[in-house]
Every structure is written in C-alpha cells, then in structure tokens.
Amino acid sequence: MTSWILAGWRRSPVALALIATVPAGLLLAGFDNRIVAPIILVLNLIGARYSWRAARTSPSGLGPWRLIAAGRAASALCTAGLMLSWQSVAGITRLLMFGLLAAGVFASISRRFTGRAKTALVAELVAVLAAGFMSIWYFAIEPVLAHRTGTDPSVATIGWPLGDVLLLTAVAAIILGGAVSRFAAPVTLFAGSLALYLVVDLTWLFTQDPRLLSGLAVADLLMTLAPVLTVARAGLPFTARTSGPPAWATHLPLAAMLTGCLLMATVTIREGQLLPWGGLVCGLTVMTGGAAWRQLISVRQSHDQLTTDTLTGLCNRAGLDQALDRTAKRGDPAALLLIDLDGFKLVNDAYGHAAGDAFLTHVGRQLRAAVRGVDVCARIGGDEFAVLLADTGHVNDAIAAAQRILAVAAGHPARFDEDLVPVRASIGIATAPAGYDSKVLLRQADTAMYHSKRAGSHRYARYEPSMIDHRADDAALAEDLQHALDRDELHVLYQPQVDLISGRPIAAEALIRWQHPTRGPISPVRFIPVAERSGAINDIGLWVLEQALIQLAAVPGGEHLHMSVNLSPRQLREPAIVHDILAVLDRVGADPRRLVLEVTESALVDDTGGIAALRVLREHGIRIAIDDFGTGYSSLQYLTRLPVDILKIDRSFVAELDDTPEGSAVAGAIVRLSQVLHLATVAEGVETEPQAAELRALGCDIGQGYLYAKPLSPTDFAAFVSGTTIPDSPRPR
Ligand code: C2E
Ligand code: CA
Ligand code: CA
C-alpha cells in the first residue's frame, strides 16, 4: 500500500502490534469461537477508543469518527452480550452498530457534496438500497416471516439482515462518493472492512457456519486499523478529496436496477407465478431497461460534452488526455502528433473572429480527413491540434501521417469571399514505448513542434533527445527585439553585387545586424525567425527598407546602383504590405525601379495573397528576386506564372562548382532556366575566382560574395563603389 499506511505503521506501535498478534491469535484459535469472540471484543474496544481519538485529531472527521466510535462500542456490547448469551442485548446493540456505522459513513460522504450533486448521490443510493432490500427480503426475511426456515421472526433474523442492507448502501456511498480512488485515505481501509463484514454476514445467512466468526474478526481488525492509523498521522481527514468515483462505479445504480429485475423474474419462475406476475415482471423489466438506457445516454452525453471541442467537434484537451491515459493503461506504445497552425493570428486579424472560427472548423475537417477513423483528433488550444495514432507507436507511421496532414492541408485552402487562405502548420512528432508518461510524451511532441516551427513553415519534426527547448530563450529574444529599434541596437550592412564580366558594383543587398547590449552581436539567422513569429519583422523590415533607400541615395556616384532588400514571408502576408512599402518609397523619395525585393520560394508556394501583393508592387516598377533559388519546392511550371525578375542561385550550388559537369549541373540549369524566362541571375556566396570564372562561363550575370566584399558598413560600401580600397575588407586570393 502507500506511504500513508507505511508512515502510519512506523509511527504506530499499536497498529503493528495488532497486525502481528490478531492474525496469529486467530490461527492459534483454530475457529474456536470461545477464543475468537474475545478477540473481536478487544478489537471493538480498541476500535471504539481510537475512533474517538481520531474524531479529535482530524477536525473534518469529528462527526463521522464519533458516530463510528459509538458504532464500535455498540458492537463491543453486542459481542459481550453474545458471549454471555444475553440475546436481547446482543440483538439491539448489533442493530445499533449497523445504524451508527452507516451513519458515520453517510455523514462523512455527504459533507463533500452540495446541491444537485448531493441529490443525485442520494438517488443513486436509493437504487442500491432498494435492490439490496429486494434481495434480502426474498432470500432472508420473507422465508422467516413465512416460517419456512425454522427460526422465528426476531431482531436477529429480521433486523440484522436489514442492517446488512444499510452496510451495503454505506459501501456504495463510499464508492459512488469517489472516496476510494485513493488508498491513502482511512476511508478506503474502512470501506474494505465494511465490504468484508458484509460478505461474511451474508454468507452466514445462508450457511450458518460458526467458523465465519473468524472472518468477522478480520473485518473488525481492518475497521480498527483505520482510526489507529489516522491517529498516528494526526490531522488526516476521514475522506480525501478525489476527482470522482471510478468509471465502473457510475454503473452501480444500473447494476442495482438489473438485480431487482432479475430477482423479480427469478421469483416469478421459482414460485410458478407466470400468471399473472409474468407479464407484469416483463413489462417492469422492459420499462427499467428503457430508463436505464436513457440514463446511460445521459451519462455518455455529459461525458462527451466534457471531452468534445464544441467548435470543431473533435476531442478537446480533456478528451486527448483521456485517450492518452487509455493507451497508457492498456500498455500500448503511442505516437502523438502536435499540430500548430502557422499564421492563424493573421487570419483572425484580417478577416475577423467569425472567419477565424470557420478557419479552425475547416482545419478540423481536413485533419479528420487526413487520418484514419480510429485515430484520435483533438483541438487542444486556440490553433493547436493533436492526433494520437491508434494501434501504433512506430515513428514511420507517425511521419507518414504528418506528411499526409501537410499534403491535405496544402491542397485545401480555406475560402473567404474572393480569397483563398492557405492552411499551413508545424507538426511535432513524439513516440513512446509501452508504459510511457503522457505528460512527458506531450512535452516531447511540443518541443519537436517548436523546432519544426523554428525551421520554417509547413513542415514536421520528430522529437530527438538532443533537442533543446528554445522556447524560453526565444521568448527573451523576442522581448528584447521589441525595444531593439528604439534603443538603436539595429543597423544595416550592405553587401555589393558586381557585374561578373566588368567587375563593377551594380547593386547591394541590405543585411540587418543586431548588436545586443549584453549578448553582443546576434546573427540574423538567429533573430529573424524570432522576429517573424513575434511579428516584429513587420516594423523591422520596413525600417531596413527605409535605411537601405536612404543609403542608396547617399552613395556618391551611385546613381546607377540598385538596392536589394529582403522581404520575409510574414511581411508578405500582411494585408497592408503594398501600401507600407510604397509609403516608404514615397517618404524617402526613391525611384521604385532601383529597388529589388528578395523573397524566398517558400513564401510564394500556395500563398496567393502574397503573390497578388508582389504583382502590384511590380506594376509600380519594383523588381522581385527569388532568394535561395533551388532550395525550396516550387515547381518549374509554377515559376512561369510568378511575378519574378531575378533568380538568386543559392550559395550551396555555387559552392559545388568545381569545374566538373556534375558540380555545375544545378547552377547551369538555373542560369538556362532564367535565360528562357528572360530573368536575370545573381549568384550568391561567390568566394573564389574559379567559381566566378565558371559562373561567367555558364552565363550568369551578377555575383555576390566574399570574393568581392563581405557585408559592409555604409562608409565602406561608399568607398567600395567609388573604387577606393577598403582596409578591413577581405579580398580572398
Ligand atoms: P540571405 O538573404 O541568403 O543573405 C545572404 C547571406 O549570405 C548573408 O548572411 C551574407 O552575409 C551571407 N554571405 C554573403 N556572401 C557570402 C559568402 O561568400 N560566403 C558565405 N558563406 N556567406 C555569404 P547574413 O547577413 O548572416 O544573413 C542571413 C540571412 O538573414 C539572410 O540570408 C536573410 O535570409 C536574413 N536577413 C538578413 N537581413 C535581413 C533583413 O533585413 N530582413 C529579412 N527579412 N531577412 C534578413
Ligand atoms: Ca537575401
Ligand atoms: Ca540568399
């Protein structure tokens, strides 16, 4: 058992002594009731004494323990009466015992309930009481009243069986009151003793076996240990607060009704009373069945209400927890997917809350469609969903499910008015072998989900033990980033882009830098994704644009130059983005034709709103470059329909150039593609002269990289353009 009992025993020599001596005494007695009866008497006396003390030590148990103490005292009197053959004393005191013990239990349970819950409990207990009464009536009382047993009606033959019905109801009260789900409560020990007492007593009704007295002694021992241990651990309440009765217990009243009906049928057949009682009993059984059925549905309904998300009809958090617990209890392995929508807040902001709800419902439907019927789908937070796969803990199954979910989501954008809004999500996968802890599993899936989100939109990640939970650090960074602009911690560097043939600078890419007051310089690779998620990128991006355009105008002799500025996917989804960019151009007085906006492929794939924005910007003369081209997943056919002017060959392909056909395969293909589509090409990350030579040979127009210059401060950039040597600038080889 639990630490409570262990701790109690250690502190209670009385409990230890009882445990050691009573079973030994009973064994020695060998069912000799001349020895068993005194043992019971002593147990009753100790029980009465300690129950009384328990009443004082545990304040909430004052009433219940006092009643129980009185019940044990009555039981002691009864035992003495039996030993001295004072039948009437024994009869009355035992009756008192039943009443007082049951009253103690009812008193302790009833104080935990109020209002409707109390009424419901009473109704359930009435059903149990009635079923118990019917059984006792038929098997014990009626035979006595009809003089079929050879015993006369008396307190012992009528009253005691009725007392057993009271005890049965008391045990039911403890179970239905939800007090037994914890071993640590004295009431659990007490309930066990009552149940044992009941079983022994009922067996006695039918067998009259005198050896059963030893059984009562064991029940009395348990009933005595409860208060003894309570006293040892002073202050423990009689009943502990628990989350409710165990699941099976809710069917107890139904079982009671069924018992009643079965009994009626048995009686009708056994007594040969098919006419007229058969029809009545059948009708009553069907009626009770109907009522029970209806009650079962109500129980289900209220259970469903507790575990269902009203918006999507999927499970809610509680439902998922239950499903996880079920799988864990069955000893099955588990595979859990945690799904977080990307950019849901934007939908809410742009289209309103009703549309946001419709979007979530749409996502719920797509999610359901993407997984099997047996898998559990849940919405566990605003825009957070989860899937618990059935019958598998295999990571490959989980990955397949994640891929299916992403594909279904990508293929089914939501429609608001004229707009198609893409469904994008980040998925975290965690799997666990049998015997897992659901909390740990959820946390792991959550960590994986966050990693997936950091890595970019609409993808999945499976949990690895090496994954660090970046959440706290990212949150701190996001917080600091809010003030970075005001505190002048951000600045922009300019990396020249040169004509590969003439070697003359023709443009620059604006690249942001953050000088953190305590952490020092932080790479944009680290903080731009954080700014994307927090939304700070909107202000920061426009600020970079403004700085870059001001700088462009300030470069002496730079009238022919143009400026490349990065535009993040999040910015592109901002409804006011076109207006904002044009406003900056206007404010600075810059020519839109000297501006290039760099967007990544992933920002464009299935993002119709973004493409429309780019189209408008392009109509104003701004050019669009696809950044990191070749690393995303846009189809070539798709490319022909995009508003694009420039392809930037990702630096990983430039790094592969090694004068072999294999090395130049991708870069060459991109150059030819842009020639066909009449686009310009810029090669990123050009670090060596041989790379530059090969790019020239392939027909690439423009190069950018350390070979020419690292990202430069405004002064150094101006110097670079005017042809002055820059002392700090590395000019490899
Ligand atoms: P990107 O747009 O692909 O920028 C090019 C990156 O390659 C820059 O890194 C640049 O310093 C680096 N680079 C240039 N030449 C070479 C070379 O020869 N070799 C190597 N190994 N690297 C080279 P940086 O400045 O750290 O920027 C990283 C990323 O951060 C950028 O990748 C861009 O995605 C993002 N970023 C930077 N500034 C901004 C900004 O103002 N707005 C947005 N949205 N993103 C930005
Ligand atoms: Ca770029
Ligand atoms: Ca790039």
713 CA distance to ligand 1 middle (Å): 15
Q: pTM for the whole thing?
A: 0.57
Q: In whole angstroms, what is the distance from residue 416 CA to residue 505 CA?
A: 46
Q: What residues pack around ion ligand 2 (CB closer than 5 A)?
A: 566, 598, 627
The atom of ligand 1 lying closest to the CA of 524 is 30
pLDDT confidence of residue 729: 45
User: Of 338, 343, 421, whose CA–CA distance to 384 is shortest?
Assistant: 338
Q: Output the pLDDT for position 668.
A: 95
Give the Å distance between the CA of 627 and the centre of ligand 3.
5
Of the candidates 106, 158, 165, 157, the residue with the CA atom closest to the CA atom of residue 133? 165
Choice from 684, 706, 708 to test ligand 1 binding pocket (greatest atom count within 8 A of CB): 684
Q: Which of 534, 537, 566 most suits a substitution to test ligand 1, by most atoms within 8 Å of the C-beta?
A: 566
Among residues 199, 124, 126, 149, the alpha carbon closest in space to that of 134 is found at 126
Ligand 1 atom index nearest CA of 686: 18
10-residue stretch averages of pLDDT, the chain, 733 residues long: 55 80 86 88 92 76 82 94 89 93 88 80 88 88 84 85 92 81 68 90 85 90 86 63 65 80 86 81 85 81 86 93 89 94 84 92 95 94 94 93 95 85 93 88 94 87 89 90 94 97 95 96 93 92 97 93 94 91 97 96 68 93 93 68 91 93 93 94 96 96 96 96 63 41
Q: How remote is the CA of residue 579 from the centroid of ligand 3, in Å?
A: 25
Share of the chain residues as helix, strand and coil, in percent rounded to the nearest 5? 60, 15, 25
To test the ligand 1 pocket, which listed residue (457, 511, 538) has its Cβ within 8 A of the most ligand atoms? Answer: 511
> Cα separation of 323 and 154, whole Å?
54
SS (H, E, C) 265-321: HHHHHHCCCHHHHHHHHHHHHHHHHHHHHHHHHHHHHHHHHHHECCCCCCECHHHHH
Q: Which atom of ligand 1 is nearest to the CA of 493?
A: 25
Task: Show the 3-state SS of 163-195.
Answer: HHHHHHHHHHHHHHCCCCCCCCCHHHHHHHHHH
Ligand 3: distance of its center to the CA of 571 in Å? 17
What's the pLDDT score for residue 731?
A: 44
pLDDT of residue 3: 53
Residue whose C-alpha is closest to residue 398's, from 438, 428, 433:
428
- Residue whose CA is closest, atom 43 of ligand 1? 566
How confident is the model at residue 184, as a pLDDT? 52
* Residues 73-96: tens digit of each pLDDT: 999 999 999 899 888 899 999 999
> What string of DSSP letters covers 205-238?
HHH--GGGHHHHHHHHHHHHHHHHHHHHTTT--S
Q: Ligand 1 centroid vs 626 CA: distance in angstroms?
A: 14
Q: How far is the CA of 75 from the centre of ligand 3 (A)?
A: 88
- Closest C-alpha to ligand 1, atom 45: 566
**pLDDT for position 33:** 84
- Which of ligand 1's atoms lies nearest the C-alpha of 565? 41
**pLDDT of the residue at 574:** 86
CB 726 within 8 A of CB 563: no
Measured in angstroms, how far is the CA atom of residue 146 from the centroid of ligand 1? 100
Task: Determine the distance separating the centroid of ligand 2 and the alpha carbon of 492, expressed in angstroms.
Answer: 13
Quickly count: other Cβ atoms within 10 Å of residue 543's Cβ.
15
DSSP 635-656: -HHHHTTS--SEEEE-HHHHHT
Pocket of ligand 1 (CB under 6 A): 495, 510-512, 523-525, 528, 541, 544, 566, 568, 627-628, 651, 684-687, 705-706, 711
How confident is the model at residue 615, as a pLDDT?
93
Residue located nearest, by CA, to atom 4 of ligand 1: 511
- For residue 727, the model assigns a pLDDT of 47
Q: 494 alpha carbon to ligand 2 midpoint, in Å?
A: 11
Closest-lying ligand to the alpha carbon of 495? Answer: 1
- Alpha-carbon span 175 to 211, nearest angstrom: 29
d(CA 627, CA 576): 22
pLDDT at 724: 65
Q: Which amino acid is at 716?
A: D
pLDDT of residue 723: 83
